[in-house]
Structure 1
Amino acid sequence: MLSFGSGTTVVKRLLAVGKCDLNAQDEKFAEKSIRFLVNKKKPKLTEDVEAAVMQQTSKTKCIVIYWSDWKNHVRSKLDIGGINGSYNNGSTDIASHKLHPHVWFCRLWRWPDLTSQVELRAIPSCECPFDQDKDQICVQPYHYSRVEAPVLPPVLVPKVTGENLPSRDELPPVNLEGGTIPNATYSDGLETPQFGLPPDTPPPGYMSEDGESTEQDCSMNSPASIHYASDSDSIPHGTVSTFLDAQPVAYCEPPFWCSISYYEMNQRVGETFHASQPSLTVDGFTDPSNSERFCLGLLSNIHRVTQIELTRRHIGKGVRLYYIGGEVFAECLSESSIFVQSPNCNRRYGWHPATVVKIPPGCNLKIFNNQEFAALLSQSVNQGFEAVYQLTKMCTIRMSFVKGWGAEYRRQTVTSTPCWIELHLNGPLQWLDKVLTQMGSPRSPCSSMS
């Protein structure tokens, strides 16, 4: 049995072993949050907190708090308007590591660089993990493990010789705008969506808010059984005369994991944003952009029309993008939905490659997975240069704010929407470049970045 001094002594002791280099404001919030846990009316809870933190052990019971209590605590200490709110000046700086108690305490006592709950997994013995949608949540930091990015195996690429390879002009353009673009819509991430598809198109799968697929998705459209209908299926392959010894081409993580360009209709506006942080927001505010935030409010466009102005006013908190454990997530922070076209996500759930998915406020969606891409790249190498080149479309993600596009909407192309962004995933694109170079380029240079 541990012995305790006064509550103040316990709080100071727990604060002293924190891993974070806190500024004055965060230190004040940390102290009040520890007091929130160390409740003199619940000595056993206090005992478990100190045992877990001081001994760095998972062998304690769950340290359980109520979600509603934590929300009230955050509102009172940070003066925000709601659990998805922000400081009264419109800033989004408090983000999710304070809004989610398990993230905050894991950040405080274990991983100071933790940014989001998508980086965490509960250990098997935890009875109240954050992902079970209960009224209570465990905040014992040692009841969670951190998601690590899997090591991607190198792709074995044969060196191709032969002259009858397609030239750059013979390769198809990489775009997803041709034909009817289907839509997937859901209200709260739990109910069956309605899809606006041509009669001959099989119904695509469905992604719920918590990342699980529907029963139909699991039984009929498992990723292993899905044929990805890329444009290369209809392209005649060039003659290959010889395959030399295969060489491994490894994946390397670039310093900037993605590049983001902002568009209004068909016009690019402003400079490209290069993302180096694993978590960032793209919002409509007028604060200066930094490494964790791309603010669209200050960007000017002399050709901006009224419709675009009105749409920009509704972007608000926009979208939060996470790159965690080799996976990319998009979370809608805005009060208006966002619309995402991700071929990688669409393939995973059996959707048509060009499907545009509506993400309502407060919902999130996994929009890219490095391991799935690696497996597809390895398969495509055996199908030839064009099949690998076609994978460049999977490394581009388009996302519109407020207004959607596709079969169910008046706008049929993303360039018809008032405000949208395009993400280029630099790691996969650079990997493709290396593979294409190893395979042997066409007569005219052509790479994934061209």
Structure 2
Amino acid sequence: MFRSKRSGLVRRLWRSRVIPDRDGGDGSARSGHDLGATGSFKIPEKNPSAEIRAGAEGASPRRAQESDGRTVTCCLFKERETGGPQPPAAAIVVAPPSPDGGSPERRGREARSRLLLLEQELKAVTYSLLKRLKERSLDSLLEAVESRGGMPSGCVLVARTELRLGGQAAPPHLLLGKLFRWPDLQHPAELKPLCECQSFGVADGPTVCCNPYHFSRLCGPESPPPPYSRLSPNDEQKPLDLSDSTLSYTETEATNSPNVTPGDFSDASTSPDAVKRSHWCNVAYWEHRTRVGRLYTVYEQSVSIFYDLPQGNGFCLGQLNLENRSETVRRTRSKIGYGILLSKEPDGVWAYNRSEHPIFVNSPTLDIPNCRTLIVRKVMPGYSIKVFDYEKSCLLQHTADLDYADGPYDPNSVRISFAKGWGPCYSRQFITSCPCWLEILLSNNR
């Protein structure tokens, strides 16, 4: 039978859905391709949120310890003000066994039957939504899904109508977010449109973008920091002394990068266009105590900072060369991947983790007021966090007398470490002990 290109795109999208993996301890989800064309939903034996909290770098204790996943609480929603009850995750919820018990074989058959019905309902609702999209939108959606957000893709606009799934309302962007990225996604309030999406800043428009890679999940309120770990004498780090002979400064032009131009690495003070354009931040890339490359000046509303990306513009860290890199730095650089998206928005500066590993963030507005303890937030892949709050910054009374300061204190700076955390709960007490990290120097001109 002749099949149109449109129906082929719809089938490819359905096979590309993510499925909770009951065997993995890293909170990851697998594509429908892994289970064949007729893939079925697995019953997760662990809470997906608990799996995510366990860390995204492996299930074994040794790997979790090396990735620092054990020491900082995850940015997940624990309390949400949604104004109503939370809809269940219809695609993976399994009803409890009947009170009369029954044989294990019977309970297994009933569970499989319920899962089959749920999958059939999900497939019917998904096909109904996808068939409403134009062929060009299906192409953009498939490109975004198969590249996992690595390829630039346009908005996939659809009428803002409520779909029904498992007896609950499921907006289009929530449905496709659950289907292609986060099977445990519960409510639209957990999603934040990226600044480049047409849904950004539009709460009740007639259409909504349902491209799942035009959204991130919001980091929710964090639980109190875990108890401090006792450090061995070998783990203690001394504060950074600018006169220390071990501190080095290395510049790399990296003008051969296919994604940047030579002027992108120039300091704002020396740029010939500095008087014409207003920059809102400079980005410095560090490896331990060595700064690699010049300051990267940001003029646009958002900037991608990445190691490797199929297509895209921004600050390419993979093009910055340095002699005699340690093996630790090399391993960490390989985990940067798609990196982060840094954006200036009306309420502050946001960071969206596009990589496959966590990032760790500290800034003056993320610290607890009147607290002399360093607060480091862990941001899981696919999540975003407001790393700097303009309004809160104006209310803070900054002081340079901080016990945890490892260098000059800048109340308008943000520090982000890739894959490795630091602070009182880690053997790395200071960010200068992290293999790969960024220093975001914000301009006073908002």
State TM-score, norm by structure 1. 0.43
Higher CA-based Rg: 1
**Structure with a larger share of its residues in helix:** 1
TM-score by length of 2: 0.43
